[in-house]
Structure formats: C-alpha cells, structure tokens
DNA sequence: TATGAATGAGACTTCATTCAT
DNA sequence: TATGAATGAAGTCTCATTCAT
C-alpha cells in the first residue's frame, strides 16, 4: 500500500512540501485548540501564513488537511520510535529502554498525539486505512522487539501474548496523552514509566515492593 | 458535584424524561453512523420521532444532545459495572470476575462506548467535567475492588500501583471497543479476557504457560 | 415521461406552489437582465422576497430554479398555444388564425421566450429531455392542425412536409423574440405575421402582390 | 464600424495572431463541450498549449476570448458563404445553389454555429454590436442575391419580402444546427435542403408533388 | 405542548486576474 | 516574452435556532 496521494495544483515538489509543512503546523495548533470540525479552512490558511486561495492550491478538500496532519504526526512518532527501537538487541533491558523512549516521545508530542487520536475518525473511509496501517506498523515494532526477547530466551511467550503485549504498550503510551487530564495530575512521567514497566513485567501478584516507589520525583510542568 | 442541568421549556418532568429518552436513542444510532458533527438536529428530531420544534422544547443547543447521550451511556455502563463489582468480597477471584464482567459489558455496548469515547472531546468546557467525573467514578470502582484485595492481604500493592492498575483495566476495556478494527480480528472476547487477565496478574516474566491458550475458542460474530 | 420532480423540504403543497411561483417570477426578471449564470442564488431569493435559506427549502440546487423557470414558461406558452389551436377545424383559415395567435403569444411573452431559449442549454443532461419534450409537443400541435387541413383536402402535403412546416412555424415564432434586435426594427408584429403567413402559403414564386403590404400599420411600442 | 480591438500586451503582431489562433481553437472545443461559463481560463490556456500567464498576455479578460471565438466563427462562415454566393448571377437556380451551399456550410460547422449561437448573449453590451453587425452582413448577402433575382425579373417581390426571405433562409440554416437534436433524427441534410427549398419557393399551397420526396436518400452519419 | 417554515451567519470551494521571476 | 504561484472576492449551499400558529 503506497502513500495516499493528495493532489496539488502546484507542480514544484519542493514548494509543495514547504507549503504543506506550513499548513500542517498551523492546522495542528488549531486542531489542538478547537478540533477539526470547528476549525475553518480560512483559519488554517491564515495560521499557515497564506491566503485561502493558496491553501487550495495545495489540497483538494478540507479533509486533505486532516489526512496530511495525521500522516505527518504518525510519521514523526514512528520515526522517533524507530530510532529508539532500532538498535535494541533483544534483551529485557533494551525492551524497557524502548518503552521508556516511546513514552517520552508521546510526552513530548502530547498535543499531536491527542489530535491524531481524536480526529482519525473524521477521516473518510478512503483515507482511514492508510493511517491505520501506520499505526499497526508501530505496534509491529514493539512486537518485533518482544519477539527478539523470546527468541533470545529472555522471555517465554506465545505469539498471541506477544501481540497483545505490543498493543498494550502502544495504548499505554497513547494513554499518557489522552488521559492526561487525570494521569498527569497523579504521576510524573518518570513515575508513570516506572509503574507501567513494573506492572508489565511483574504483574500484580509479583509487583509488590519490586521497585521502591519514589513519590517525590514528580517533575513539575 | 451535581448532575449538570439541561434546560427544557416543557415543565412536565415525566414528559421531559420520555422525550429525552427518545432523543438519546435516536441520537446514539446517528452518532454511531456519522459522528456528532455530521449529524444534524433535524436528523436527531426525526430519529427521535418528533419535529425539530419539539426537539428544541427539550434542549437548548445541539451540544445538549451530546451531553445527554454521553451522560446516558456512562450511566448505563456504570450501572452494569456496579452490578458486577458490587458484591465482590475482595478476593482475587472476585477481581478477575469483575474484570471479565466489565469487558463483557464493553463488548455488548461497543457502539455506545465508541461514541462516548470519540465525542466527549466535542463537549464544551462547561459540560466536560461532569462527564469526566463519571469516568473517574468508574475507575474508582476498580480501585476499590483492588484495594479490598490489598486489605485482605491477597495482593501487596502501593496506592499508586492500585490507581494505575485501575486505570489500566478501565482503558483495556475501552480498548476492546476503540481498537476493534484490529483486536477483534485477532481475538475472540474470551481470548481477550483471558490474555489480558493473565498478563495483568502474572506480568510478562511469569506469564509463560500460566494458562493454556485456546486458539479455537474464538466465538463467531 | 412524467414531470421531473424538484424536491422541496417543505411539505405543504400549496405553500410550495406559492413560493415557487414567487421564485420563478423573480428569477425570470433576473435571467432576462443578466442571464442564468450571472444571477446569484442570493439575488433570486431577494427578488422572490425571501431569504436564501428559504429559497433552499424549495429547491435543491440553483439549476432547479432554471428548470422551474423553463418549465413554467413552456407551460404558459403551451397553454396559450393550446387555447388558440384547440378549436380549429382544419381549414386554412383556422391555420392562419392559429399561426397569428401563436406569434402574438410569443410577442407578449418575448422576454420569457428569450430566456427559455437562451438558457435551456444550461440545464443538466438530466433535466433537458423533459424540457425538449415539451417543445416537441408544441411542434406537434401545429403538425396536428396542418394534418387536419391535409385530411380535409385543403392542403396536399406529404408527412415529411407537414413536419417541416410545423418546425418552421414554431421557429419563426421564436425568431420574432430572439431576433427582435433586428426584426422588430423593421416590422410591426402585424406586418411580420402577414409576411410570414404569405410566404408560408404562397412561397417566393407566387408571393408577389398576393397581399397588399401595409407599411404604415407598424405598431408602436 | 471597424473591428473591435482586443488589447494585447505583446507587440509582435504575427505572434499575437498565432497565439490567438491557438487560443480560439482550444476554446471552441471547450465551449462546445461545456459552454462559455463552465469553461475556465486555465482550461483555455491549457487547451491552447500555453500557460495561464501567457494567455493574459494576449487578452484582457475572459470575455475577450469569447469575442475572439465568435468573431472567428462568423468570419469563417461568412467567408465560405461569400465564396458560394459571390459568383451567383441572379437566377433562381443560383439562389437555390446558394441556399444549398449555405446549409452545407452550417452542417459542416455545426458545433461552431451552435457555440456562436448559444454564447453571443454572454458578450458584453460592448462587444455584441460588432458581432451582430456581422450577422446582418450575412443576411445582406442573401438579400442581395434575392434582389438580383427580382431585378432580373425572375422573382416579383417587395423589399420587405426580400428582407424577410433573407432572414428566413439564414435562420433555417442555423436551425439545422440548433435543432439538430430533432431535425437530424428526421431528415438527412439533402432532404432538409430539398424540403426547405421547395417550401420556400412553392409555399404550402403549391408545394404538393412539386418535388418527389426521396425517403431513402438519407445519408448515414 | 407540538409543529415546521423561516432565517441568515457562515462553511467550503472556485476561478479570473495579477505580478515577480 | 513566458511562467505559474498567489490572491481574495464571490458563489453555492447547509444547518442550528427561532417563533408564529
């Protein structure tokens, strides 16, 4: 499945890239504030720094903007996720590191993750599969890392368990963003990482006192 | 915090309740199909079985409908959750049963959970807290059950861990709905419950072969 | 082929008829002045005496207005044509009378005929057939009258000739409207009727001095 | 009345002529397909083989294109009409020949005639007279030929009749194009010419059996 | 209490035209 | 002379909300 093409009237590829980057940047800000539906194309154009006419030289419909935004955010997250997970050698330690890196990425890109998360559903039936595919690719990265641990004998898991775990990790990352209204009141990022990692590895029954919880390490925002 | 009041022009309380129930029923169906923003008030009125004029006798704005819908869904989920968790006596077995019950409720109310989940963000700053409060109450139910286990000595967990666990359970339930496009392709509900429970209790490191996975038990839909 | 239905949101048939009549009346005036394409829906609404929102309660698209206008004009012309031709008894005299009546109708409805004439081409492929069918019905009326003359032995014509004659009469009527910029400078309506009738019956070769031409009878406008 | 000037930024007369010819050629095709209003200047430029910027080096407004197109079509029709009528010597035979030639020209240039016919009204008050003048010149050609016949004693007609006849011939030619949706279903060009000529000369009353009608001679398209 | 016609702000999108390169 | 990116006025249409009946 190739990248879904968004048609532009302008030919110059470099310019298209540049203008779309402006557009995406402006749109993300607006979508964060008011959501996709409550943001007008005029506002997007303005935030991007050009006229409404120019906006439509680079997209066909408003929904194209949403697609471009989602696509861009996914790419960024994935890229950063990839950096972190790429070099892992299939040890538990490296898995923990990978999770920690991912949670930090989500933390840094909270707003973007939130937007992507809340607005994908507004994508047309046409565009949705392209975006969901990217999501699955990210899940697959975790799957891969966990699988390596299994192959190395560090973990003993069935394939179904591996998949489930990968999904859980992925969602727990997103959760930090979409439940921030409560989670981030209770935990610092470090605590969140520590707790989730511990629970993931030890489970409930073995978790007690496995790690010393540090209530004071909460980072201020 | 009391229930947020939605103003109605009509005085007869019984009638208000009746009309709003019609309204919510119709609206949920529509929101499932097209989302809140793409559903018109006319459509809601029609689906509810009365005229647009009548609709506005029972609400003030379109957003009121969304609030009513979210509120109603939360109430239903919470009610059913309560039934399941209420009688639990603080044993691990009862906790497992509670989780299982909850996941089943989510499965049965998938559409509703999805709507609620995707559209809460469209609520005004005014209405949001009321809905989020309900969510926290549900999380608190799990918290309570886990706490009982701790008090009974069945589990050994810090308060922060308890809270985290409650959130995880809650989100993993929702996850079954909002990631159904992939999860429900891979697992039957029973498998999902089994796997998540196992991972929750044993964690990764101890999970292996804890339970025999049954690939063929997948229920057909 | 039934009348093409233009969808209205409003249910009350009587009201629909009334509003559409207002709409048509306003639109004709505007189309006469500036043509269909240069007339905006807002202008139509205003000319009709209601808001743009109300306009769209009675039509679906701007093109519907054009269809309604064309349809209405055709109906009027046809109705009046029918009155004149209906009672004719298949004599040459009655045919002449019918032609004269038709030309007078066209003269009185010049603006409308012109609009219809110039704008039909803007109708969608969907609506066009309905309008062209009406035109053919009008041609058929002349055909019928001429055929009666043939059957009565007053004229001796082949079927192909009858059809051709009917088309010629019809177009010569329209011509009085769409070439008014030159014809109406040269002839009064009476002269036009007299001349065309004479040429139709006598032809060129026998036409000379058949009728005394009356240069002074030109009507003033 | 001189030819209306369309301003160009480019000085080189030869180039202006060349570019405008390209432009007209492309525009006619487009106007045939979608009409003047639904054709964009971009499309015209593209069809002409150059950029939108270049287009505007050779015209001032979109309407200029329409003027150029109409002007060009009229010139072509007139030129070909002139060829046919020029050498006629004022006999009935030559008049018939002239009519036949003219109808054949219209047949060959159907699309163009149709465009010109349907779009002249979109010309501004400013440009219209220039085009109508050309039309009158063509009518005058027929007038001239008929007048010659009168002067030669071949026909006996008053001046008003001559003018009327000229207009009729002219319109009956156009009619072949603008009523082709029905006429060309019923008659071949040859039949059309034959019938119209016969009716023109003999009229209704004398037309019978004047010419043997040949139903089978219809040419296939 | 119920209805549904009326309203008009405002949304998305197009396209003729300009102008710097 | 040729290009095509940029512009923004203006067009069509939608829909939440009101109010007279």
Of residues 16 to 35 in chain B, which lie within 7 A of strand E by their beta carbon? 19
D41-50: long-range contacts (C-beta < 8 A, 24 or more apart)? D41/D65, D48/D19, D48/D22, D48/D23, D49/D22, D50/D19, D50/D22
Residue that is written with structure tokens 């023109």 in the block = D200
DSSP code string of D10-34: ---HHHHHHHHHHHHHHHHHHHHHH
The pLDDT mean for chain C works out to 90
Chains that touch A (3 or more CB pairs under 8 A): B
Q: Do D91 and D134 have their domain in common?
A: yes
DSSP code string of C116-140: HHHHGGGS-TTTHHHHHHHHHHHHH
In whole angstroms, what is the distance from residue B78 CA to residue D80 CA? Answer: 87
In whole angstroms, what is the distance from residue B162 CA to residue B159 CA? Answer: 5
Return all residues near B153 (Cβ < 8 A) that are at least 6 apart. none
Nearest Cα neighbor of C147 from C203, C91, C87 is C91
Q: Do A133 and A71 have their domain in common?
A: yes
Give domain status of residue D2, yes or no: no
- Are B72 and B65 in contact by the 8 Å Cβ rule? The answer is no
pLDDT of residue B88: 62
Q: Do D40 and D83 have their domain in common?
A: no
Give domain status of residue B46, yes or no: yes
Helix-then-strand count for chain B, H and E: 10, 0
Q: Is the pLDDT of residue A221 over 50?
A: no
pLDDT of residue C72: 95
Task: Give distance CA D18 / C1' F7 (Å).
Answer: 30
CATH of the domain at C149: 1.10.357.10
Q: Is the pLDDT of residue C86 over 90?
A: no
Query: Could you report the per-residue pLDDT of C23-59, keeping only the tens digit for each?
Result: 999 999 999 999 999 999 999 999 999 999 999 999 9
Provide mean pLDDT across the span D99-123.
93
Q: Do B116 and B21 have their domain in common?
A: no
The pLDDT mean for chain D works out to 90
Task: Give distance CA B160 / C1' E6 (Å).
Answer: 58
Nearest Cα neighbor of C192 from C161, C221, C214 is C214
Give domain status of residue C126, yes or no: yes
Q: Do C77 and C19 have their domain in common?
A: no
3-class DSSP state for residue A164? helix
Query: Could you report the per-residue pLDDT of B117-139, keeping only the tens digit for each?
Result: 899 999 998 899 999 999 999 99
Give domain status of residue C221, yes or no: no
CATH of the domain at A39: 1.10.10.60
- Are A75 and A68 in contact by the 8 Å Cβ rule? The answer is no
- Are D211 and D150 in contact by the 8 Å Cβ rule? The answer is no
Q: Is the pLDDT of residue D130 over 70?
A: yes
Residue that is written with structure tokens 């062209």 in the block = C132
* Least trusted range by pLDDT, from A28-37, C55-64, C78-87: C78-87
Q: Do C52 and C82 have their domain in common?
A: no
Inter-chain touch D160–C186, beta carbons under 8 Å:
yes
Q: Do A147 and A44 have their domain in common?
A: no
Tokens of B66: 């969304």
Q: Do B83 and B40 have their domain in common?
A: no
Owning domain of residue B81: 66-206
In whole angstroms, what is the distance from residue D177 CA to residue A83 CA? Answer: 70
DSSP code string of D125-151: TTTHHHHHHHHHHHHHHHHHHHHHHHH
Q: What are the residue ranges in chain B where pLDDT is below 50?
A: 208-213, 216-221
Nearest Cα neighbor of D118 from D33, D35, D176 is D35
Residues on chain C touching D191 (C-beta within 8 angstroms): 160
Checking each nucleotide's C1' against the CA of C49, the nearest proves to be: E6
Bases of chain F within 7 A of a CB of the protein: 1-20
Inter-chain touch D168–C199, beta carbons under 8 Å:
yes
Q: Count the neighbouring beta carbons within 10 Å of the beta carbon of residue D23.
A: 25
pLDDT of residue D220: 42
Q: Do C76 and C142 have their domain in common?
A: yes
Residues on chain D touching C98 (C-beta within 8 angstroms): none
The pLDDT mean for chain A works out to 90
Tokens of B211: 């339970």
Tokens of A42: 């005029």
Give domain status of residue B14, yes or no: yes
Q: Do A73 and A30 have their domain in common?
A: no
Q: Do D35 and D75 have their domain in common?
A: no
DSSP code string of C135-179: HHHHHHHHHHHHHHHHHTTS----HHHHHHHHHHHHHHHHHHHHT
Inter-chain touch B171–A171, beta carbons under 8 Å:
yes
In whole angstroms, what is the distance from residue C9 CA to residue C21 CA? Answer: 16
Q: Is the CB of D42 under 7 A from strand E?
A: yes
Min distance D201 CA to chain C CA atoms (Å): 5
Give domain status of residue D211, yes or no: no
**How open is the CA angle B85-B88-B94, to the nearest 5 degrees?**
95
Residue that is written with structure tokens 């189309």 in the block = C31
Task: Give distance CA C10 / C1' F9 (Å).
Answer: 33
Q: Do D77 and D157 have their domain in common?
A: yes
Cα Rg, chain B, nearest whole Å: 20
Q: In this predicted model, which residue has the larger pLDDT, C156 or A87? A: C156
Query: Could you report the per-residue pLDDT of A62-78, keeping only the tens digit for each?
Result: 999 999 999 999 999 99
Give domain status of residue D4, yes or no: no
* Least trusted range by pLDDT, from A158-172, B50-64, B141-155, D200-214: D200-214
Confidence category of residue D88, pLDDT binned at 50, 70, 90: low
Give domain status of residue B4, yes or no: no
Give the domain-ending residue among C59, C83, C98. Answer: C59
Largest CA distance in chain A: 62
Query: Could you report the per-residue pLDDT of A176-196, keeping only the tens digit for each?
Result: 999 999 999 999 999 999 999
pLDDT of residue B65: 97
Q: How many separate domains does chain B show?
A: 2
Nearest Cα neighbor of A80 from A115, A108, A117 is A108
């Amino acid at each position: 499945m190739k990248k879904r093409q968004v048609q532009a009237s302008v030919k110059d590829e470099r310019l298209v890239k540049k203008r779309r980057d402006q557009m995406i940047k402006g749109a993300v800000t607006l979508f964060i504030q008011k959501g996709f539906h409550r943001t007008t194309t005029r506002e997007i154009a303005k935030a991007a720094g050009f006229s409404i006419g120019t906006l439509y030289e680079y997209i066909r419909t408003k929904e194209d903007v949403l697609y471009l935004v989602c696509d861009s955010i996914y790419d960024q997250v994935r890229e950063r996720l990839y950096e972190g997970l790429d070099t892992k050698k299939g040890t538990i330690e490296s898995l923990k590191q990978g999770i920690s890196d991912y949670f930090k990425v989500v933390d840094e890109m909270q707003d973007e993750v939130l937007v992507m998360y809340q607005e994908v559903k507004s994508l047309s039936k046409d565009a949705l599969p392209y975006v969901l595919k990217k999501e699955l690719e990210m899940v697959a990265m975790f799957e891969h890392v966990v699988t390596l641990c299994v192959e190395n004998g560090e973990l003993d898991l069935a394939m179904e368990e591996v998949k489930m775990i990968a999904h859980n990790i992925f969602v727990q990352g997103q959760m930090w963003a979409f439940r921030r209204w409560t989670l981030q009141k209770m935990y610092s990022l470090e605590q969140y990482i520590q707790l989730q990692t511990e629970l993931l590895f030890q489970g409930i029954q073995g978790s007690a006192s496995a790690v010393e919880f540090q209530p004071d390490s909460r980072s201020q925002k």
